[in-house]
Amino acid sequence: MNLDFDRCYRAVSSRDARFDGQFVTAVRTTGIYCRPSCPAITPKRANVTFLPTAAAAQQSGYRACRRCLPDAAPGSPQWNVRSDLAARAMRLISDGVVDRGGVDALSAALGYSTRQLTRTLTAELGAGPLALARAHRAHTARLLVETTPMPMADIAFAAGFASIRQFNDTVRDVFAATPSRMRADAARRVPDAPPAAGTVSLRLPYRPPLDRDWLGWFLSAHAAEGLERWSDGEYRRTLRLPHGVGVAVLRFADTHVRADLTLGDMRDLAPAVARVRHLLDLDADPQAVDDALRADPDLAPAVAATPGIRVPGCVDPGELLLRTMIGQQISVAAAATHTARLVAALGDPVADPYLTHAFPTPATVAARGHEVLTGPARRVDAIVAVAAALAEGTLTVHAGRTAADLRADLLAHRGIGVWTADYVVMRTLADPDVLLGTDLVLKQGARLLGVNPTDQSRWTPWRSYASMHLWRTALTAADRGRVDTRTARPVTEPEDIR
């Protein structure tokens, strides 16, 4: 990544929090690295260098600042805007692929040799896949040390370290403190609220502004009973994670999202955090998006009315694909009802006062979907066939795919049309540049604003966010009785059933 020194130094001098997570400041005289908004005295120009990732700083021998906690900054929006090898690798590393399967698993998922992958990441990000994964393990370890009473030995293995010694050495190298001292310091800070037993309570930071109303509508409208719940500004849902099933409870605050994560296996903490952040699009740069879209005079009123709109992602790409197919040609409310029926019949039970089941695995849907799914026979057959392809591995849907390859693979399956493919690509990859031009409700919003949704270039590279504004415009008008949007929910075009 090419970092302009003068631009970075201006951001550091002004303590601009918008740049937190986009680069780190390494100070040679102190041997520490900070986020751009660190409240400490701005170091002299001659004493600093700017690096793209915390892993690059750690690789160069720098320790994390204990005042600004640079590892706790929002993630870089580069991994969404960019679709090159480095960006796709970072998405998978954040989900714990290296911790679970090593660099070979990461290379296989991306379709590159280990040597080529390591060379590319080192050149682009200043650190190879092992160093990048080590930085994520250190962050996970800090969260567990500071937010749970777990024994240090358990934390070491839950965070992905091969030994307690490796855990201790890494924590000392990265944070310049022992794990015991970090826990003692954290105990002196009063949390927002005591977490429940077996629950990790975290703050997930984001770059303001954030359109809470849009995210709240999206999550509540799509919530399937038993799997998800929206109540009084709190979103609760089950998570199918690499080592078991967990539950996430999310609440919005002014600068962060409060997340209570109940996990069956603490090794799932890092993937759970990554997936929740992806679901809520917390790593976006909303000011950059809004500034670009405001340049269009037709769209500017919508942007001014709802700054900080987000493009919701997903917590499980396979679940997203199957649920999207279930919802073809019906309203979102009807799709939630059908999904709830499938979850109740085939999902794995969970112990939670409000939720009952996790979403069933693709293998279960492939084996028993015909017993539960209702609707046109062609749609049911298509859903079961796609579930079988997911279970067998002939169709892979994950954040490490390129948009073009994933879209082509989806369209090759019967029952997946252009709208479904684009919608799944947008939400799976957090792709900021997908315009859902065939969506009926989006067309309603475009007509209300007087814009042409078939113009595929006017909002590049932020067409996904433009789609959200057009949706929101139509839905707001529907609530006021100005337009009929078929129950005021985004629905698919008929050609999605083939």
Q: Are 306 and 172 in contact (CB under 8 A)?
A: no
The whole model's pTM is what?
A: 0.90
Convert the pLDDT of each residue in 113-155 to its tens digit: 999 999 999 999 999 999 999 999 999 999 899 888 889 999 9
SS (H, E, C) the chain: CCCCHHHHHHHHHCCCHHHECCEEEEECCCCEEECCCCCCCCCCHHHEEEECCHHHHHHCCCEECCCCCHHHCCCCCHHHHCCCHHHHHHHHHHCCHHHHHHHHHHHHHHCCCHHHHHHHHHHHHCCCHHHHHHHHHHHHHHHHHHHCCCCHHHHHHHCCCCCHHHHHHHHHHHHCCCHHHHHHHHHCCCCCCCCCCCEEEEEEECCCCCCHHHHHHHHHHHCCCCCEEEECCEEEEEEEECCEEEEEEEEECCCEEEEEEECCCHHHHHHHHHHHHHHHCCCCCHHHHHHHHHCCCCCHHHHHHCCCCCCCCCCCHHHHHHHHHHCCCCCHHHHHHHHHHHHHHHCCECCCCCCCECCCCHHHHHHHHHHHCCCCHHHHHHHHHHHHHHHHCCCCCCCCCCHHHHHHHHHCCCCCCHHHHHHHHHHHHCCCCCCCCCCHHHHHHHHHHCCCCCCCCCCCCCHHHHHHHHHHHHHHHHHCCCCCCCCCCCCCCHHHCC
Distance of alpha carbon 234 from alpha carbon 252, whole angstroms = 8
Distance of alpha carbon 428 from alpha carbon 425, whole angstroms = 5
At 191, list the tokens.
């949390």
The predicted structure's pLDDT at residue 135: 95
Q: Are 413 and 396 in contact (CB under 8 A)?
A: no
Name residue 32's beta-bridge partners. Answer: 27, 63
Which sign does the torsion angle of CA 155, 161, 163, 164 carry?
Answer: negative
The predicted structure's pLDDT at residue 187: 83
Residue spans of the chain under pLDDT 70: 1, 190-197, 481-498
The predicted structure's pLDDT at residue 230: 97
The predicted structure's pLDDT at residue 497: 42
**Catalytic amino acids?**
34, 439
Rounded to whole angstroms, what are the CA distances from 477 to 18, 212, 488?
32, 18, 9
Which sign does the torsion angle of CA 435, 436, 438, 439 carry?
Answer: negative
Give one word for 187, left, alpha or beta, with left for phi > 0 and alpha for psi -120 to 50.
alpha
Query: Quick one: 193 exposed, middle or buried, by C-beta within 10 A (0-12, 13-18, 19+)?
Result: exposed
Distance of alpha carbon 361 from alpha carbon 364, whole angstroms = 5
